Amino acid sequence: MATPNSPLWEVFIRSRNGLAHKHVGSLHAADATLALQAARDIYTRRGEGLSIWVVPSSAITASDPAEKGMMFEPAESKIYRHPTFYDVPEEVGHM
């Protein structure tokens, strides 16, 4: 008999206070409580985290990589959005 599929969760860990939670991987668990416990065992065996988020993978909406040109290209052509675009004379010092 085929083993029934269990829900997939994405795991995010905050490594130190002040840093954002970062995606570290995914796991299977029947519910959120078990997902948190499994995340602790799988992703923090060496003190990697101070806080864990688990999110059902099905709750994530992702952009389509095939449309990355349309999504991100407009930002690439706007170099005037970066501070290095502007010339400030050296005498002015750090700005």
Partner 1 sequence: MYTQALNTSDADDRNVEDAARAAAFQARIDVDERIEPNDWMPAAYRKTLTRQISQHAHSEIVGMLPEGNWITRAPTLRRKAALLAKVQDECGHGLYLYAAAETLGTSREELVDAMLAGKAKYSSIFNYPTLTWADIGTIGWLVDGAAIMNQIPLCRCSYGPYARAMIRVCKEESFHQRQGFEIMLMLCRGTDEQKAMAQDALNRWWWPVLMMFGPPDKVSQHSDTSTKWKIKRFSNDELRQKFVDATVPQAQFLGLTIPDPEMKQDEAGYWVPGPIDWEEFKQVLAGNGPCNRDRLAARRKAHDEGAWVRAAAAAYAEKRKRRQFAQAAE
Would you tell me which residues interact with partner 1 (CB under 8 A)? 2-8, 25-31, 34, 41-42, 45-46, 62, 64-66
Using the minimum distance from each CB to partner 1, give the nearer residue, 70 or 88: 70
User: How is residue 16 annotated by DSSP?
Assistant: S
What's the closest the beta carbon of residue 93 comes to partner 1, in angstroms? 40
Pairing of strands 8-14, 22-28: antiparallel
What's the closest the beta carbon of residue 2 comes to partner 1, in angstroms? 6
What's the closest the beta carbon of residue 14 comes to partner 1, in angstroms? 17
Tokens matching residue 16: 């130190």
Beta bridge partners of 28: 8
Using the minimum distance from each CB to partner 1, give the nearer residue, 66 or 92: 66
Using the minimum distance from each CB to partner 1, give the nearer residue, 62 or 79: 62
What's the closest the beta carbon of residue 94 comes to partner 1, in angstroms? 36
Distance CA 20, CA 60 (A): 18
Interacting residues of 56 by C-beta distance below 8 A, sequence separation 6+ = 7, 8, 9, 10
